[in-house]
Each structure stands twice: as structure tokens, then as C-alpha cells.
Amino acid sequence: MKSYSLIDAVGIVHTFDKVPQRIVSLVPSQTELLVDLGLESKIVGITKFCIHPKHLKNTKCIVGGTKKVNYDKIKALKSDVIICNKEENTLEIVENLRAVCAVWVTDIVTIEDNFKMIEDFGKLLDCNIEAKLLISGLSFALSDFKQFIERKPIRKVVYFIWKNPYMVAGSDNFINELLKLNRFENIFENQPRYPEMQLQQINEAADLNFMFLSSEPYPFKQKDILEMKALVNQPGIILVDGEMFSWYGSHLLKAFAYFKELHLKL
């Protein structure tokens, strides 16, 4: 096979003499995507947060988390490419790992970015047919969901991702993209990324319909709802599955079904 060159999401040109056969993935949703593209046998290293499919933790080397990795473990795996993400992994990790092997970085903010990532994986890892089939399936599911959602009312929401301090989803992230897709108007969309906030701001928000408490990265529970209800004048406090709002890749197929169920409960 001839050598080939591809450009990742942060503009780095990568040239490969052969298709990578040993992959380390440092992003849970991208690990799941690699498996769904038929590449499980090529994955040699994952993070402790790579929980889908469940059996991977027993068959692959766990090299740390998304923000802290064991460099010695990764070096010992003799990988051909390390898959990272601009948001999930720190710049320090990415730069340090470039001394080990090629580091392919993704950057997912929109659904279009997600399709581009899958297409790029198809080219990078020689699974074009699988990538095209997945994109086709996702495109159909997206079109179906848009028909489902088009007559739903717009609802104002706030999406919590963290506690102590309280942090919420702002703009320029995949969570906000999926909120918009669901016709949820994010009251913090005018703020960048993941701003800190005070609960008193909830009482000052006009016509807020729902407070969403995500299951990740902070694992909000029923007790948090009770705690918040004592502090804010907002009855619509709901626990939501954080994976469905923040995992990209093939996980979107599960998310569309989840979103339909969520709307039926609201």
C-alpha cells in the first residue's frame, strides 16, 4: 500500500506508510465508535472511562483517564496511532504523546463535525465501507428525529454538568448542539463553554421550563434534586443521561431514541 496523508481536526498533517494496526483511544465515545466500525481487534489501549462495550475493560490495557495517562504504559503498547479529542484530552497530554507516535486529534462541536470524524476514521483506518454505512444510518435517524421534534414547543432549560462549584453547559460544545436539536433553548448559550453559576440565577431566569441535572461528568442523583428544590423556585428539575447529550460518534443512534422517550415524559 502506498503512503497516504490526512489532516486532523486541529490542522496537523499525518503521513502513514501503512494503515495503523495498533490503536490507543483516549476518548470513551471514540472507543465505542472504533468498535462499531469493526476495529476492536486493533484497539490495544483505552481509558478507565471507556465503558462501552463493557467487556473492553477486561480485554484491553487501561492506560489512565482522559486528563491523566500513564505514559510508560502507552509507550509499551507500541501503538501506531493514538486517538484524542481537543476537549477531552489536555494539550499537555497530546503534545507529550506526539513523541510516542502519531496523535490524531478530533474536535466535535456540531453534528456535522461528528459525521466528518466518522468519515476521517474511515480513511485513516481503512474502514471506508463501515464508515459510510454508519453515516447513512445516523443520517436516517437524524432525519427521523427532526420530523419527530419539529412541532414540539421550544422550552427554556439549563443543563448542569458539575457541582461545587455549579457549572453548566454554555455555547461551543456538543451538549449545546444537542439541546438545540431538541428545541431546548439553553439560557446560558450566550456564555462560552462551561461557565460557573450561582443557583440564585435560576430564580432570576424568566420563563425557565426545566433544569437538567446530568449523570456525567458529575453524577447527579435524586438527592441533588431534593437539595436544589429547597433552594430554587423551579419544580421542573430532571435527571438526564449525560452520555446521550455528550457522547458523539455512533452513540448518537442511541441518543435519538432516548430523546424521543424524554420528550414523551416532559
pLDDT tens figures, 180-205? 999 999 999 999 999 999 998 888 88
Nearest to 119 by CA among 21, 6, 22: 6
Given a contact cutoff of 8 angstroms between Cβ atoms, the answer to whether 249 and 238 are in contact is no
- The CATH classification number of 4-141 equals 3.40.50.1980
pLDDT score at 205: 84
- The CATH classification number of 152-265 equals 3.40.50.1980
Residues 83-142: pLDDT tens digits? 999 999 999 999 999 999 999 999 999 999 999 999 999 999 999 999 999 999 999 999
For residues 33 and 157, what is the distance between their CA atoms, to the nearest angstrom? 29
What are the start-end ranges of the H helices in 86-241?
91-97, 111-124, 128-149, 174-181, 200-204, 222-229
Placement of cell 453524577 in the chain: 219
Classify burial at 61, counting beta carbons within 10 Å of its beta carbon; exposed 0-12, middle 13-18, buried 19 or more: middle
Give start-end residues of each CATH 3.40.50.1980 domain in the chain: 4-141, 152-265
For residues 258 and 18, what is the distance between their CA atoms, to the nearest angstrom? 39
Classify burial at 10, counting beta carbons within 10 Å of its beta carbon; exposed 0-12, middle 13-18, buried 19 or more: middle
Residues 54-86: pLDDT tens digits? 999 999 999 999 999 999 999 999 999 999 999
For residues 200 and 107, what is the distance between their CA atoms, to the nearest angstrom? 33
233: confidence class by pLDDT, cuts 50, 70, 90: confident
